[in-house]
Structure 1
Amino acid sequence: MDYFNAFWVGGLICALVQILMEKTKMMPGRIMVLLVCLGAVISSVGWYQPFVEFAGAGASVPLLGFGNVLMKGVKEAVEQQGFMGLFSGGFQAGAVGCAAALIFGYLASLVFNPKMKK
């Protein structure tokens, strides 16, 4: 059942984003920022963790999940460092994911020899 919930929740998120891209004039970058901010807001009110427990990877892998990771990092850093944690917590929490994306993206570019569109 866990796989089923992850599949339909992740698919629903992707379908809603696709509808947003098709029916509005929003650029993809703005939609991505909207998703990260929405994930952070949902996390800050305490609704994201029950959502992750229900949907698993379907909730934690999309950009909403990145907003949740950033907000969790900020909360923990504020508890430990006070006000300065606002500025460092998100970076510390999201550093591993960002580094992995850069490293694996670079490795993929070496294997597949990408070319610019003309």
Structure 2
Amino acid sequence: MFHFDVQGSVAKSTHAGIPWLRYLRRELGESVHFWPFDGWFIQTGQSAIVEAYPSLYKQQFPLENRTGDQHDAYSIAAWMRQKDRSGQLSSYLSPELPGNIKGIAGVEGWILGVT
């Protein structure tokens, strides 16, 4: 986490984003769910913050006239919408993981779509 100036590093983004997550928690309280840190189940009516890797989803959707960043965001949203409509999203939000891995992931985080 201290390698700020190496290729592929997300340290700067992480350190820039953490204060915003704290802000969201303070402003929105229990209406926001930080998945999986707040648990694997998201209550009805809550908005969810999840970690997603666009490379898991973006090949499934045509680029059309979007920039790379726009396509990344579009692909995550389109994948989630597709899985929600097919009734599969809940299985991705509660992946079948061995107990020790699920416990660790509940503290360190998990990537939506990885099973």
Give the TM-score band, short-chain normalised: 0.3 to 0.5
TM-score (norm 1): 0.36
Greater gyration radius: 1
If each structure's helix is expressed as a fraction of its own residues, which one has the higher value?
1
TM-score (norm 2): 0.37
If each structure's strand is expressed as a fraction of its own residues, which one has the higher value?
2
